[in-house]
Structure 1
Amino acid sequence: MTIRRIVPNLTTPSQESMAENSGFYGLLGFEEVMNMGWVTTLASPSNPTAQISFLTHDETAPVIPDLSVEVEDVDAVYAQVCASGAEIVHDLRDEEWGVRRFFVRDPEGRVVNVLEHRGA
């Protein structure tokens, strides 16, 4: 299995808070690479896989995940996770913004968003 990137997802109460966080993390060199209103992702211009996301909610899932892990083959990972008996929090699905993803709960109760980017 190939992991492409890992992104911490931080809950924020409002779009105003997202803007404040973007400004703060901009001081550390991060730049906005995605803003969908409910989620903003910042990345390092010199290392685009070094990212952090801020979410007010999740558009299609029941919870905000704590962590996102982008993999090369999400279907294979989903099959392996299901076979392990781990709790699936959000079933595997294609999202309108170009990712295929599912959420799983880790042994400590954290929710992990496992995703694969799909071609446009």
Structure 2
Amino acid sequence: MSVRRVVPHVRSEAMEESREFYGLLGFEEVMNHGWVMMLASPSNPTAQISLMAGDKTAPVTPDMSIEVDDVDAAYAAVRESGAEIVHSLRDEEWGVRRFFVRDPNGRVINVLGHRSDPVPG
């Protein structure tokens, strides 16, 4: 299993103002679902920040996301370790397969992989 990217989540009640602020640092909006907005560096697209008003389908807002190439293997490893699963493994309508786990510091991590066959909306 390999890590593809790590994205910190900034909880925000001021999405547009935050987008403008991070734009001053060179970030551009690359995705916007209303409740979550992804900003990325045009020169380094994996350098990203996510702005979240809250998570649409989960009971908590994660502190960061880690994209892996095999989310099922990651889920199995985390479950076997005894770590707390906060949000069970599932396919989301926007094309990711993900779960949330709590790290030893109490942070909620969204572990995800992109699906090749998005669930019909």
Q: Same fold (TM over 0.5)?
A: yes
What are the residue-to-residue correspondences of 1:13-92 with 2, within 5 Å? 13=13, 17-92=14-89
The CA deviation at 1:5 is: 0.3
Supply the distance in 1 between the matched residues of 2:8 and 2:53 (Cα, whole angstroms). 14
1:97 corresponds to 2:94 = yes
Deviation >3 Å, runs of 4+: none
Q: Give 2:11's aligned residue.
A: 11
What's the C-alpha RMSD, in Å, of the aligned pairs? Answer: 0.6
SS at match of 1:23: helix
Q: Distance in 2 between matches of 1:105 and 1:61?
A: 14
Q: Could you list the runs of 5+ residues in structure 1 that have no partner in the other structure?
A: none
| Distance in structure 2 (CA, Å) of the matches to 1:46 and 1:5 | 15
Per the alignment, residue 111 of structure 2 pairs with 114
The alpha-carbon deviation at position 47 of structure 1 amounts to: 0.7
Match of 1:96, as an amino acid?
A: E
SS state at 1:76 partner: helix
Secondary structure of residue in 2 paired with 1:32: strand
Gap regions ≥5 residues in structure 2: none
Cα deviation, 1:61-98, whole Å, max 9, x if unaligned, reads: 00000010000000000000000000000000000000
Aligned residues: 117
Query: The residue matched to 1:62 in structure 2 has which SS?
Result: coil
CA distance in structure 2 between the partners assigned to 1:72 and 1:5 by the alignment? 10
